[in-house]
Amino acid sequence: MPVAELRLERVRCFEWGEVDFDGAPAILSGTNGSGKSTILEAIYLLARGRSFRTPHPGQLIRRGCQAFGVEATVPAETSTRAIRLVYDQKLNLSIDRQMATFREVGEILPLTLMDAEIAQIVTGGPEQRRKLLDWLMFHVEPDGWGQWKQYRRALRQWQWAVRTGMDGAIWLERMLDGAPVIESARKRLIESCLPFWNEAFGSLFPGARVDLEYRPGSPPGMNLVEALVGWRPERAERPLAPGPHRAEIGIMIEGVSARQVLSRGQAKLLAIGLMWGGALFLAESLKNRPLLLIDDFSSELDSAAQNRLLHLLAREPLQVVVTTVHAPRKEETPRQFRRFHVEQGFIRASPSW
């Protein structure tokens, strides 16, 4: 569900702050240290129960204070839900004044964060792209997600058994039982997301051909049974066991690996496109509007790339909140965006149009 209003009390540099999003995409601009990222942090903490900047929620308390609070109003089908979090030695969460869990809030307010490391989805190792599949599978492929968790537990036990000379047959059997379910779920996800990803790629990289390919974690020409039975940890050429835990999504630009040809700014743009397409797929599958938080969206992007990205992010049904040091010019900002300027703990709305 979209966030209509957000209120902060004694959070970092804010004595009191209020943002009237009205469910629309928003741009938060301001100098370094003005409190832009704190607003994203407050939303993230409210939905996830943890900060993306520190493992200690007490560090969010404004200097000289003893507690802090965050509240969001979220429109529902027939009413408005009020989600409130108060930290006073511990986190206390409520929905409409009734005690609640973060799982319940997550169902009302699904969100994902894109920070300065978002380009790692493209430039990083295969585990970064597997995280993208994990995010999607968690929400829409419960059988695949359950098998993936069991597979990873069995993998650890089996590798330990092989290294110590123990009998790991029972763990190998569990891995082989779960692997086809995991592979099928991943392939369905990629096939389902492709229309949304292609829409993003067409907007962000007009005229370029971007191809995605699922690559299973087994050596070419070898099935998983053969690959696992033949694996030995002491073999230097194959130090890691094969399987779904080594699968990835290959990303090609005009037939060449994206990691080889894209600049860091272009990689960031492509990574945001992947997340945006995945979120749009989730919105359609879950019948809910995910919230995308993008910290410092404009870094490493030229003005043309920023413009293309903002027009993509403005599309329904997603709600997006982005931060930037330099606000884009009003005439270049899509009309759907609400604009806010943040300065040392004060928030003021800027004219949108």
Output the pLDDT for position 79: 83
Show contacts of 222-228: CB within 8 Å, 24+ apart.
224/176, 224/179, 225/176, 228/172, 228/175, 228/176
Query: Where residue 237 falls among pLDDT bands split at 50, 70, 90?
Result: very low
Output the pLDDT for position 238: 46
Q: In what order do the strands lie in the sheet with 210-215?
A: 210-215, 248-253, 256-257
Residue 341 phi, psi (nearest 5): -110, 130
Over residues 41-64, mean pLDDT: 94
Domains and CATH numbers, the chain: 5-110+288-350 (3.40.50.300), 120-260 (1.20.1050.90)
Give the chain's mean pLDDT.
Answer: 91
Residues with Cβ within 8 Å of 285's Cβ and at least 6 positions away in sequence, in order, are 139, 140, 192
Residue 348 has pLDDT above 70, yes or no: yes
Over residues 230-248, mean pLDDT: 69
Structure tokens at 327: 């606000």
Position with higher pLDDT, 305 vs 350: 305
Tens digits of per-residue pLDDT, 22-40? 999 999 999 999 999 999 9
Structure tokens at 349: 């709305």
Residue 182 has pLDDT above 80, yes or no: yes
Residue 125 has pLDDT above 50, yes or no: yes
Residue 239 has pLDDT above 70, yes or no: no
Tens digits of per-residue pLDDT, 74-92? 988 778 999 999 999 999 9
| pTM for the predicted model, two decimal places | 0.90
Position with higher pLDDT, 181 vs 77: 181
Residue 44 has pLDDT above 50, yes or no: yes
Query: Where residue 353 falls among pLDDT bands split at 50, 70, 90?
Result: low
- Beta carbons of 307 and 314 less than 8 angstroms apart: no
Tens digits of per-residue pLDDT, 290-317? 899 999 999 999 999 999 999 999 988 8
Query: Where residue 216 falls among pLDDT bands split at 50, 70, 90?
Result: confident
Helix (H, G, I), strand (E, B) or coil at 80: strand
